[in-house]
Copies of this chain bind each other. A is one copy, B any other.
Amino acid sequence: MVEMRKPIPVDEAVRAVMEHASSTGIETVKLDEAYGRVLAEPIIAKHDVPPFDRSPYDGFAIRSVDSAGASGNNRVPFSVIGEIGAGQVAQKPIGEKEAYRIMTGAQLPEDADTVVMFEQTTELDGGFTIRKPFEAGENVSFKGEDAKEGELLIEAGSLIHPGTVALLATFGYAQLTVGKRPVAGILSTGTELLDVADELVPGKIRNSNGPMIEAQLKRMGIECRSYGMAADELDTCTAIVEQALSEVDFIITTGGVSVGDYDYLPAIYERLGATVLFNKVAMRPGSVTTVAVLNGKLLFGLSGNPSACFTGFELFVRPAILKMMGCNAPYMPKMSAVLWEDFTKPNPFTRFIRATWEFRDGKVIALPAGFNKSNAVSSIARGNCLIVLPSGTRGYEKGAVVDLLLIGSETGVQEWTV
């Protein structure tokens, strides 16, 4: 008899996975290794930014009081007593009608409170004249105007992108604490699987899920151990999964999660004593996606069908990895789009359709990436998003507004909202 499984909604499945995704701990890394990691500590301004009053332009630093009364008919002359390039400091204080030639980014000399841009002067031998008065603070970047010492600038849990690196460098974070990256184990199951370098033989296909998942992990900077491919043989597969469990932080298997005669993952979970969180999700593709947990380690049983496998990774594995690293925004960004062709199939389950979004004539449109059966592989290589059609809906016509989840986005969002 065929085992009957009760499907759970996608959001429940995501929640169940996230509840069991636990921190891999933290470690200290050097700044040049920080990109793509997750901050385990907030970035707090260690000093004011700018750290001193500075000139935002190339010009002359003066005391504004000396410019009083200047006009076209009463040009006020200044004598230049020195020059301050960026990184230099004035050697003496500024006196009445005195000025320093000052460059962008340089620290204002003591007592100077204004910068006159070159364009606002007429240069003379040893000095210049101005024809308008300046107010104190004109053309000055003030100490602390960008950030104040002690200010919390970026929260712990944020993904470190290049801008974050700039901020860390500014405050002298030569090293910092980040979430440890979990190590993944991958096992592709299926007697039908050939290696990528193998010639096709009747009844068999090449393993595309293993290399694809390795790339999905690589995109996240996650190291993986490949446990290769295993035929559908219970003892062998159990032994491999058991070994992997002792070596990695979580395991992704592909195939073997349906209810066929050789779908051994359910039996493997049972033998190992793993708790199955769910074995049926109300989604297409990937309804057979199964997730189990053993000794705090997640076992992701993804479908052997390529599209289902891809989607299962993005929906469940990716946010779990990000949570293990401490990331506070682990979900794919969502937006809406105008569906650009009919999609006539009804949706008893929530449907995720590989698609490309484009911006045309002021609106975002979504084009399904072609053939969308769960075993389709050509559509997988196209597209930059997933169209989400809620369960319980009928077909959609061109022009309907649908939700999208963006694939391959550097930063994510805090809430799962599909």
Q: How far is the CA of A199 from the CA of B172 in the complex (A)?
A: 8
A294 shortest CB reach to chain B, Å: 26
Binds B, one of A6-14, A85-93, A387-395: A85-93
Question: Which of the residues B34, B49, B359 comes within 8 Å of A333, measured between beta carbons?
Answer: B359
Nearest-CB residue, chain B, relative to A46: B200
Check: A167 CB closer than 8 A to any chain B CB.
Answer: yes
Q: Does A358 contact B (CB under 8 A)?
A: yes
The CA of A295 and the CA of B35, in the complex, are separated in Å by 33
CA distance A210 to B165 in the complex (A): 10
Are A167 and B35 in contact, CB atoms less than 8 angstroms apart? no
The CA of A134 and the CA of B3, in the complex, are separated in Å by 24
Task: Please state if A381 and B261 are interface contacts (CB–CB under 8 Å).
Answer: no
Instruction: Indicate whether A239 reaches chain B with its CB closer than 8 angstroms.
Output: no
Do A170 and B205 touch (CB < 8 A)? yes
From A64-72, A177-185, A404-412, the one touching the partner chain is: A404-412
User: How far does the alpha carbon of A281 sit from the alpha carbon of B1 in the complex, in Å?
Assistant: 72
| Known contacts A204-B87, A377-B147; A31 and B211 CB within 8 A of each other | yes
- A296 to B166, alpha carbons, bound, how many Å? 30
| A272: interface (CB < 8 Å) | no
Chain B residues with Cβ below 8 Å from A89 are 202-203
A56 CB within 8 Å of chain B: yes
- Contacting B at CB under 8 A, from A159-196, are 161-174, 190-193, 196
Which of the listed residues A84, A106, A260 has the most CB atoms from chain B within 10 Å of its own CB?
A260
Contact residues in B for A107 (Cβ distance below 8 Å): 202-203
- A261 and B169 within 8 A (CB): no
Give chain B residues whose Cβ lies under 8 Å from the Cβ of A368: none
- Which residues of chain B are near A259, meaning CB under 8 Å? 58, 118
Interface 0/1 of A346-382, CB less than 8 Å to B: 0000000010001100111000000101011110111
Q: Restricting to A86-125, which residues have a CB under 8 Å from any CB of B?
A: 86-89, 101, 103-107, 118-119, 123
Q: Is the CB of A202 within 8 A of B52?
A: yes
Q: Which residues of B contact A77 (CB under 8 A)?
A: none
Q: Is the CB of A170 within 8 A of B203?
A: no
CB proximity of A91 to chain B, nearest CB, Å: 11
Does A212 reach chain B (CB closer than 8 Å)? yes
Q: Are A383 and B163 in contact (CB under 8 A)?
A: yes
CA distance A218 to B354 in the complex (A): 28
A236 to chain B, nearest CB (A): 14
Write out, one digit per residue, whether chain A residues 208-245 have a CB within 8 A of any chain B CB (1) or not (0). Answer: 11111111101100000000000110000000000000
- Bound CA–CA A378/B31 (angstroms): 17
**CA of A406 to CA of B161, assembled, Å:** 14
A416 lies within 8 A of chain B by Cβ: no
The smallest C-beta distance from A159 to any residue of chain B, in angstroms, reads 9
Q: How far is the CA of A79 from the CA of B163 in the complex (A)?
A: 68
Q: Mark A145-159, 1 if CB is under 8 A from B, else 0.
A: 111000001100010
From residue A1, how far is it (CB to closest CB) to chain B in Å?
7
Across the interface, A362 reaches (CB within 8 A) one of B213, B336, B381, namely B336
Q: Are A58 and B258 in contact (CB under 8 A)?
A: yes
Q: A86-B192, A86-B203 are in contact. List 7 more A-B contacts (CB 8 A).
A: A2-B58, A31-B196, A86-B190, A87-B203, A103-B262, A166-B380, A333-B384
Which A residues are closer than 8 A to B by beta carbons? 1-2, 31-32, 34-36, 43, 45, 47, 49-52, 56, 58, 83-89, 101, 103-107, 118-119, 123, 141, 145-147, 153-154, 158, 161-174, 190-193, 196-200, 202-216, 218-219, 231-232, 258-262, 304, 306, 310, 333-336, 354, 358-359, 362-364, 371, 373, 375-378, 380-384, 406-411, 413
Q: Please list the 7 inter-chain residue pairs (A to B) with the smallest Cβ-Cβ separation, ordered nearest first.
A: A408-B410, A87-B192, A87-B191, A166-B212, A162-B215, A163-B380, A86-B192
